[in-house]
Structure 1
Amino acid sequence: MRPEERDQDEYRKDRKARKAKERALKRKILMIISSIVIILAIIIVLILVVLLKGKIDAEKNQIDSEAVASLSMTYVGEKTETDSSNENITSVSSDSSTDNSTKDLGPVPSIDTSTLSSPDVYMIRVEDNAPVIDQNSTARIYPASMTKIMTVLVAIENIDDLSATYTFDGTEFNAAYAQGAATAGFEAGETVPLLDILYGIMLPSGADACYAVCNYVAGSEADFVTLMNQKAQEIGMTATNFANATGLQDENHYSTCQDMAKLLEYAVKNDTFKTIFSTHIYTTKATSVHSAGIALSSTTFINLPSSTLDNGTTIIGGKTGYTDEAGHCLASLAKDANGAEYILVTAGAAGDANATPHITDAVTVYSQLPSA
């Protein structure tokens, strides 16, 4: 082969090799680009999944909150909306810690009561039992569902093991329904821990739960009421007589704001009572009837925009009451910004069943307590 032909042949081979390398490089670049595109697509999909899940969770939480806000059935003994929803809602409580150490409490606060709807009002500072408001405090009132403070207290003091259970047989709900009373939502055949039943009394004001503890503790409501009146005398509630465990209207079922304050002052010294009393929302344990438990909401806190007021006062707990004869009632406990605790009992506020003048009165009074 001549030199010229040999050079041309080597040139063609070299060119062919360069083109092969270029094609290989292009394939590698395409593979890299394809891999990057696939990875980016996966990342985008994951981001979309996370965003979608967040939106679904947010919508679910909103539904849960709306379910809690609509708890309880309407009735003449305690007007409130109930839904025995099975949403798994976490128990929420106010700060119920008490500091009774010796401290300078200062003068008794001066409270303007001129705008209150409640004609009967009594308020004390717990640490020194000093009266803050005394407005018709010894006038006879119908306590309505404030009665359930005593019902829960007597149950706690007469039950050795609150983890023990009670099985509802249906008579409890039937009795409550026949009287137009609110229920916690427990059903026939349902076996429930006694502690959960106490929450069913205090938070949604369930008459079915009241009848259950009456049966468990004393065998009947009548015998349980005997224990309630014995405890009232022990505490010094000399102007009080209980005729039932629910607070439904009865001419022989009466008290005074001063006596109800004595009761609450005594009751909150019991840690179990105070925990129940200060709870906003509670979910009962799962049962064969309610697999997710029952969401129970406090008739006090459900009507409060916030339990902490602008002056730093915290409303720790409360028990509402209402009948046509009693008007709107509330027995509550609060702590001011300096740590002093107060008990306030109001009764007789006018308004239809769905009004909340008793809640408004409590906010009006507590908002005037000293700030830090």
Structure 2
Amino acid sequence: MPKTALLLCLLAVATGARAQDASPAPQPLAHIGDATERAPDATALQAWRADAAKALAASDDAGALITASMLALAAHDAATATRALQRAVERAPKDPDVAWMAVWRCADVASCAHARENLHALEADNAAAWLPDLYAATQADDAERIAQALQGMAAGKRYDDHQMHLLPRVLDALGLVPTPAGVQEGADAGALRAAEAMALTSVAAIPPLRPLGAACNGAPDAARAALCLRVAERMQQGTSLMAQMVGEGLARRLLRDPQPLAALVARQRTRAWRMQKMAGLMRELAHDPALAQAWTAAMRGHAREDEAVAALLAARGIPDRPPAGWQPAGAAQHEP
């Protein structure tokens, strides 16, 4: 992972494990603004998260309940997180966002199997819907099921990890509760909500990707390598930046033809440039209401995160391609 402040810092957290892996609570505000003079009050932030989670958990709206679950997990309140998500499942069992969240928070083998079946029924064409199967197969060290999950991913028509669906729902839900008070001096209320929504969805929505790396890195034969390359192609067209970057990193390890490899490296360079510029904007997010509004509009107005980033950079007059000779610091690649 490159070291580029808020956005990629959040993405780096997201590549860690999810519920079953005890993923850390998101800490978005710690990366916004000056770390010494405008650092957030962690105690106040956690207290606000806990109160907001309880308030939203009483709602009958699925989006509010999903957000309550995310907030409660961030506040280390597992009981409230579980209750809120259970209520969301009861009220909206056919909601794909709810199904996606539920499949990563299931409690036992039977409930997890049911959650996976429900997700497949709702999103038969989504390659990402096979990631829970890959996770379970890897946990069980079942080579046959691992291969089946990879085949399912490769056969998918699209790759959607729901981050871009969940983000506007979380933003809407956070607007229903009081803005966190005393969290960060000089911060704009709307910008704080935007930063929190980005952190929550980056951590809660994006699935564990290490099983994919374990299955594909050092592929045992040409057939597995070809299968993994098809998965990488699906991910490169995914809706989140994390999916696209992981797909690029995986493809870079698997490609042998120099021409498509060179094109891939060029895309990675352009993406690194955009992310560097985006990180610079994100450092000012909590203290720039106009920027927060522009970011929110871009994220709401696009189905893919990379499109939203490109739109925001264009709106701010920032070139979307690097100058000749520019290379990202460290040239780090994104691989599961």
- Normalising to structure 2: TM-score of the pair? 0.30
* Higher fraction of helix: 2
- Normalising to structure 1: TM-score of the pair? 0.28
